[in-house]
């Protein structure tokens, strides 16, 4: 039997493991479970491919990325690895062939779409072969508290019951502590070792700017900072993808559109050009990018606000995978927020609440006066990093105003609700209380008799929402549940006692009116 390093050299042709890979591979090879959080481009695939080659039997990889399976399998075959896949794009004959290979032990790796496991015949097939490892890729799809939930993933909990002796490795690039915990419980990974690689991408420069004239802003950004570079421009809708791609071409910049409304051949052709050519820009919806491995993407630009920090991190993470300097640039505006809120209204209550919380976290990143990277890392569970010096807020600190009193008002409202009423409420109720609004919900709970009722009329509703988001971004307030209940944090006390000043950003969506200076 080959050792993992021998396989690394001989099959994959690499000299050494990337950080984390060896420990993860050793864990799985020895038969243990693993839960792996590693940023995009960190090298997750080898973590299950090598165990599959070292252990006897076939490695079964569950992946939602059906469109990429053929490419993945082709790439492996080119290295001499016996790989196959089963998904809905295949005809009967092709499927039969792969099944026969699986049964006769002629495969090292079998890629499966998650919905295949719902089909009892697939389960029976798997039971007839020898399985070396189950790899669950994009494992965050099992978490309902996340941005990419796929119901088919819930069926994966059965793997442990049916194959208790086969090691399982779950991998994801986007997990907050809450998602991480949910993955672990839903997949029954309580015996698993957890591996968390650093989420920091120090070579990416983060910059977020208010949206004024988005096309012109984009053009300036591309011309001054990335002339002739490869990159991705993300837009929210198919129609804006088309418009922006045309606009860039009209201005002499090589760009192609990519979205789910284009036919498969056009999409494949544009994707292939992007991978092959230097200096091509893909203007795309979030349909583009999953699993794309192009090391020299020099920038990722967002012309619309992503739905969540998970999405933002995943999309911007496609820049600079070669480790050379790259830019994550975004323009955001109030109209994005309105559009997202409207989209969030679709779906059930729980879905709606989650979307709103994701959006608030996203806005908090946009509006933070502190280091963007610190906030991102904090969100993904890596607390306590130092300001990075490679983001816009580090390099040119934004203008701030002393929001200590405003912060104290918010925090004392949350405090009073908790202390006097033993209640927790979301931002909407807290703001209504500060504004002194006698809404039905305020009256129903008797919140009009709280001492903080009506103490915040100097700001409007939008501004108070902004203050709350910035307090969340600074960790002075936290959201406790997916209901969005606000709770105090360790830092809140210092602010309430007047021992800590709170600086808030001035140039956010709706800056507070300052007396005598017009719109501020």
Mapping DSSP onto H, E and C, the string for 382-423 reads CCCCCCCCCEHHHHCCCCEEECHHHHHHHHHHHHHHHHHHCC
- Residue 391 contact, options ligand ADP, Zn ion, none, Cβ 5-8 Å cut-off depending on partner type: Zn ion
14 binds, among Zn ion, ligand ADP, none (CB under 5 to 8 A by kind): ligand ADP
CB closer to Zn ion out of 199 and 453: 199
Q: Which of 24, 28, 33, 41 binds ligand ADP (CB under 6 A)?
A: 41
In the bound state with ligand ADP, the residue whose beta carbon lies nearer, of 18 and 238, is 18
Nearer to ligand ADP by Cβ, of 17 and 313: the residue is 17
DSSP string computed for 226-271: -TT--EEEE-SSHHHHHHHHHHHHHTT--EEEE-TTS-HHHHHHHH
Which one, 43 or 511, has the nearer CB to ligand ADP? 43
C-alpha of 125 from chain center: 34
Which CB atom, from 79 or from 338, has the smaller least distance to ligand ADP? Answer: 79
Among the candidate windows 15-23, 274-282, 396-404, 481-489, which touches ligand ADP by CB under 6 A?
15-23
- Euclidean distance between CA atoms 520 and 517, whole angstroms: 6
Binders of ligand ADP in range 288-347 (CB under 6 A): 293
Helix (H, G, I), strand (E, B) or coil at 369: coil
Residue 46: helix, strand or coil by DSSP?
A: helix
Residue spans of beta strands (DSSP E) within 372-513 = 400-402, 477-479, 486-488, 503-505
Q: Which of 17, 111, 195, 464 binds ligand ADP (CB under 6 A)?
A: 17
Q: DSSP label at 391?
A: B
With residue 185 as reference, give the H or E element that holds it. Answer: helix 177-186
Is 87 near ligand ADP (CB under 6 A)? no
- Whether the CB-CB separation of 430 and 456 falls below 8 Å is answered with no
**Least distance from ligand ADP to the Cβ atom of residue 171, Å:** 7
Closer residue to ligand ADP in complex, CB, 63/508: 63
Give the up-direction half-sphere exposure of residue 198: CA atoms within 13 A in the CB hemisphere.
Answer: 9
DSSP string, 47-95: HHHHHHHHSSSEEEEE-S-HHHHHHHHHHHHHTT--EEEE-TTS-HHHH
476 three-class SS:
coil
Q: Tell the residue number behind the tokens 């940023």, with chain if given.
A: 39
Give the integer Cα–Cα distance in Å for 401 and 296: 40
Partner whose footprint covers residue 311, from Zn ion, ligand ADP, none (CB < 5 to 8 Å by kind): none
Residue 512, binding choice from Zn ion, ligand ADP, none, Cβ under 5 to 8 Å by partner class? none
Return the number of the residue (24 or 110) whose C-beta is nearest ligand ADP. Answer: 24
In the list 52, 394, 467, 485, the residue contacting Zn ion (rule: CB under 5 A) is 394
Binding residues for ligand ADP, rule CB under 6 A, total: 13
Spell out, one character per residue from 252 to 291, where the chain touches ligand ADP: x when CB under 6 A holds, - when not.
Answer: ----------------------------------------
User: Using CA atoms, how far apart are residues 157 and 182, in angstroms rounded to an integer?
Assistant: 12
What is the contact mask toward Zn ion in residues 353 to 392, using x (rule: CB under 5 A)? ------------------x-x-------------xx--x-
Among Zn ion, ligand ADP, none, the one that 373 touches (CB under a kind-dependent 5 to 8 A) is: Zn ion
Query: N- to C-terminal Cα distance for the chain?
Result: 70
Select the binding partner of residue 45 from Zn ion, ligand ADP, none (C-beta < 5 to 8 A, by kind).
ligand ADP
Least distance from ligand ADP to the Cβ atom of residue 418, Å: 42
We find the least distance from the C-beta atom of residue 32 to ligand ADP, in angstroms, to be 20
CB 292 within 8 A of CB 271: yes
Q: Which does 394 bind (CB under 5 to 8 A by kind): Zn ion, ligand ADP, none?
A: Zn ion
Q: Is the dihedral of CA 89, 152, 304, 395 positive or negative?
A: negative
- Could you list the residues that contact Zn ion (CB under 5 A)? 371, 373, 387-388, 391, 394
- Could you list the residues that contact ligand ADP (CB under 6 A)? 14, 17-18, 21, 38, 40-46, 293
């Amino acid at each position: 039997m080959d050792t993992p390093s021998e396989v690394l050299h001989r099959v994959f042709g690499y000299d050494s493991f990337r950080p984390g890979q060896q420990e993860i591979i050793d864990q799985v090879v020895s038969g243990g479970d693993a839960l792996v959080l590693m940023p995009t481009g960190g090298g997750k695939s080898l973590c299950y491919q090598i165990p599959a080659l070292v252990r006897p039997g076939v490695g079964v990889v569950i992946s939602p990325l059906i469109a990429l399976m053929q490419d993945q399998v082709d790439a492996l075959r080119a290295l001499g690895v016996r790989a196959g896949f089963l998904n809905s794009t295949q005809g009967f004959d092709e499927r039969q062939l792969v099944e026969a290979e699986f049964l006769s032990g002629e495969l090292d790796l079998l890629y499966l779409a998650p919905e295949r496991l719902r089909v009892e015949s697939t389960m029976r097939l798997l039971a007839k072969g020898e399985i070396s490892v189950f790899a669950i890729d994009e494992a965050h799809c099992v978490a309902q508290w996340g941005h990419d939930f796929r119901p088919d993933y819930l069926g994966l909990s059965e793997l442990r019951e049916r194959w208790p002796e086969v090691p399982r490795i779950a991998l994801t690039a986007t997990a907050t502590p809450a998602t991480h915990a949910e993955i672990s419980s839903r997949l029954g990974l309580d015996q698993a070792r957890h591996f968390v690689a650093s989420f920091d991408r120090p070579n990416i420069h983060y910059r977020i700017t208010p949206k004024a004239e988005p096309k012109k802003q984009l053009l300036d950004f591309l011309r001054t900072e990335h002339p002739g570079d490869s990159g991705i421009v993300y837009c929210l809708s198919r129609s804006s993808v088309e418009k922006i791609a045309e606009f860039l071409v009209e201005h002499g910049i090589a760009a192609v559109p990519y979205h789910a409304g284009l036919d498969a051949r056009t999409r494949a052709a544009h994707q292939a050009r992007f991978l092959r050519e230097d200096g091509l820009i893909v203007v795309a919806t979030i349909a583009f990018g999953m699993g794309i491995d192009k090391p020299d993407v020099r920038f990722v630009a967002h012309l619309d606000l992503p739905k969540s920090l998970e999405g933002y991190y995943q999309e911007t993470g496609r820049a600079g995978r070669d480790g050379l300097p790259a830019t994550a640039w975004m323009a955001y505006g109030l109209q994005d927020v309105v559009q997202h809120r409207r989209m969030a209204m679709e779906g059930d209550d729980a879905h709606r609440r989650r979307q709103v919380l994701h959006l608030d976290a996203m806005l908090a990143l946009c509006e933070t006066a502190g280091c963007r990277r610190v906030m991102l890392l904090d969100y993904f569970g890596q607390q306590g990093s130092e300001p990075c010096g490679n983001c816009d807020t580090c390099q040119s600190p934004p203008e701030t105003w002393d929001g200590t009193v405003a912060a104290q008002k918010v925090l004392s409202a949350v405090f009073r609700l908790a202390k006097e009423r033993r209640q927790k409420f979301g931002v909407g109720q807290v703001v209504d209380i500060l504004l002194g609004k006698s809404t039905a919900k305020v009256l129903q709970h008797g919140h009009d008799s709280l001492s903080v009722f009506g103490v915040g009329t100097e700001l409007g509703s939008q501004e108070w929402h902004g203050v709350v988001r910035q307090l969340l971004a600074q960790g002075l307030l936290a959201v406790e549940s997916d209901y969005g209940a606000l709770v105090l944090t360790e830092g809140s006390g210092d602010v309430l006692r007047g021992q800590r000043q709170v600086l808030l950003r001035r140039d956010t969506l709706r800056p507070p009116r300052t007396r005598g200076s017009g719109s501020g």
